[in-house]
Chain A
């Protein structure tokens, strides 16, 4: 399983109620279902992925996070997970607030556009970066709102959203992001994993 998913799973308390927004083919949901909590469901936009989830015996609703989160009542989940999707929304701010409305806590992961490889691509090659986490070209990328870890931390603090956990992932290397190492982690992290409360 992806390192990212292992970290997300480690943040979740047993037997809590979970919504995985943009759950993909259900890999993370299946792991959580078998190991942490059987009260988990997904929201997924791709029909193919929805079928894959059903095949795995997971509860999944075909839908669009930007349109369909409204139907869930306030605080109806302990955790709402959003893995590497925030940057693809038309209005990420609105989605983030929706996550924090329906969930007591949100676990959000973002591909870090501040990673040194990306900076070098842009600086020396002068082309839009294409990496393992961001495999698309500028013309076909679904990512409308790329941000860096620093951007995201600033964004949350400006809105008084509490980052109760901030974790950096670089390759297999896991470390905490703190105030005093933010600039450094912003350079070395491929992925930022945040637990957020309102």
Chain B
């Protein structure tokens, strides 16, 4: 835990009223920045992470010692070029990489909040992150970018703060979490809560760890991030370090071994209660309903330039759902571009080395910045 205590944090003094009705204040937001803010303060980009991401998209994560989750897309001369842009990345509230979350200590009991942590929403996450912009004295952001749950935050951010971001790139996301996605999240939550070690969410104070449940949740979720074709090509029916089937329940197949590995490494870096809270926030996300069934109203009067990106093999946040956002924006004459990238890598495509995707982001960002800030002298 000490290592996490040492991460960069900003403590929000203000009160934040959450959607659940509770109020929080004096809470930490863990963050990281890349690149430099220019004199005009017009090159700021806020990026939002997905369900299991954190504030470390680039470089070595000091806690996990692994490469950042967006190392293909972000860095010097990359799609999100840190030589040009000042990138702010935060850990969402509810998370477990230093921001206010269920593993934070409740000062009134001196124990981790666990399941007494308030239920948070995408709206709450975005409102909390806005305080950090005030801390950096950034009035206008050049861009807000995120994939998956990060994309939902992009949509919510632009809706809540219509005049702050000049461009917005929601990637592989939706404006309204589908029944299928709620079902898949529920599967993960039930796996965690069925683990006796979860202990009604009090595992931290009781020295337990629901790692089996969390691993199963991760395994199930991991399948949804890939595509059938991608899995078939990578694993097929290949056997794991054996020549024949063993007629038992060991990991005979490579895919089984791969999933088990994914589950086991995940539990070392992620908090089970955070998984419950963040998936819940995703399920509750319904920007369309928030605007009484008319998604266009979420963006009314917005001067933001939108660029929406989906992937052909993403069945978790399919192109049709991304297109709904495009349609809503066109209905109000907003400035919106859209591309569906061809990729066999499923929902995870936005995190991987998919050149068509990375080029589109790079070209869009660089051209937009040039058009907005460099041409009009």
Contacts A51-B356, A73-B331; is A59 near B336 (CB within 8 Å)?
yes
Q: Which residues of A contact B360 (CB under 8 A)?
A: 51, 54
Which residue of chain B is the closest to A56 with respect to CB atoms? B367
**Is B337 an interface residue, CB under 8 A from the partner?**
yes
**Is B13 an interface residue, CB under 8 A from the partner?**
no
Residue B342 contacts which of A47, A57, A59 (CB distance < 8 angstroms)?
Answer: A47
CB distance from B302 to the nearest CB of A (A): 14
State whether A54 touches B333 (Cβ < 8 A): no
State whether A62 touches B339 (Cβ < 8 A): yes
CB distance from B372 to the nearest CB of A (A): 11
**Is A91 an interface residue, CB under 8 A from the partner?**
no
**A130 CA / B84 CA spacing, docked (Å):** 50
CB distance from A43 to the nearest CB of B (A): 10
State whether A59 touches B335 (Cβ < 8 A): yes
Residue B339 contacts which of A50, A56, A71, A73 (CB distance < 8 angstroms)?
Answer: A50
**Is B338 an interface residue, CB under 8 A from the partner?**
yes
**Max count, chain B CB within 10 A of own CB: residue among A56, A62, A72:** A62
Q: Which residues of B contact A41 (CB under 8 A)?
A: 335, 337
**Is B330 an interface residue, CB under 8 A from the partner?**
yes
**Is B206 an interface residue, CB under 8 A from the partner?**
no
Which residue of chain A is the closest to B332 with respect to CB atoms? A73
**A41 CA / B359 CA spacing, docked (Å):** 20
8 A Cβ contacts from A31-81 to B: 41, 47, 50-51, 54-57, 59-63, 71-73, 76
Residue A72 contacts which of B330, B341, B367, B371 (CB distance < 8 angstroms)?
Answer: B330
CB distance from A175 to the nearest CB of B (A): 37
**Is B326 an interface residue, CB under 8 A from the partner?**
yes
State whether A61 touches B305 (Cβ < 8 A): no
**A60 CA / B331 CA spacing, docked (Å):** 15
**A76 CA / B336 CA spacing, docked (Å):** 14
B interface bracket (residues with beta carbon within 8 Å of A): 20 to 34
Chain B positions 344 through 377: 1 when the CB is less than 8 Å from some CB of chain A, otherwise 0:
0000000000001001100110011011000000
**A50 CA / B356 CA spacing, docked (Å):** 11
**Is B327 an interface residue, CB under 8 A from the partner?**
yes
Q: Which residues of B contact A57 (CB under 8 A)?
A: 363, 367-368, 370-371
**Is B321 an interface residue, CB under 8 A from the partner?**
no
**A72 CA / B305 CA spacing, docked (Å):** 17
Q: Which residues of B contact A50 (CB under 8 A)?
A: 339
State whether B340 touches A71 (Cβ < 8 A): no
Which residue of chain B is the closest to A77 with respect to CB atoms? B333
Q: Which residues of A contact B371 (CB under 8 A)?
A: 57
**A74 CA / B339 CA spacing, docked (Å):** 24
CB distance from B318 to the nearest CB of A (A): 14
Contacts A47-B342, A51-B356, A51-B360; is A60 near B367 (CB within 8 Å)?
no
Q: Which residues of A contact B364 (CB under 8 A)?
A: 54
CB distance from A3 to the nearest CB of B (A): 28
CB distance from B299 to the nearest CB of A (A): 14
CB distance from B68 to the nearest CB of A (A): 25
**A51 CA / B307 CA spacing, docked (Å):** 12
Residue B338 contacts which of A51, A56, A61, A76 (CB distance < 8 angstroms)?
Answer: A61
Q: Which residues of B contact A71 (CB under 8 A)?
A: 326-327, 330-331
Contacts A51-B359, A51-B360; is A62 near B338 (CB within 8 Å)?
yes
Top 6 nearest A-B pairs by Cβ distance? A57-B367, A71-B327, A61-B338, A71-B330, A55-B363, A54-B363
**Measuring CB to CB, which residues of chain A are less than 8 angstroms from any residue of chain B?**
41, 47, 50-51, 54-57, 59-63, 71-73, 76
Given contacts A71-B327, A73-B331, 20 further A-B pairs with CB under 8 A are: A41-B335, A47-B340, A50-B339, A54-B337, A54-B339, A54-B360, A54-B367, A55-B363, A57-B363, A57-B371, A59-B305, A59-B337, A61-B326, A61-B337, A62-B338, A62-B339, A62-B340, A63-B338, A72-B331, A73-B333
Q: 5 interchain pairs (CB within 8 A)? A: A41-B337, A47-B342, A57-B368, A57-B371, A60-B339
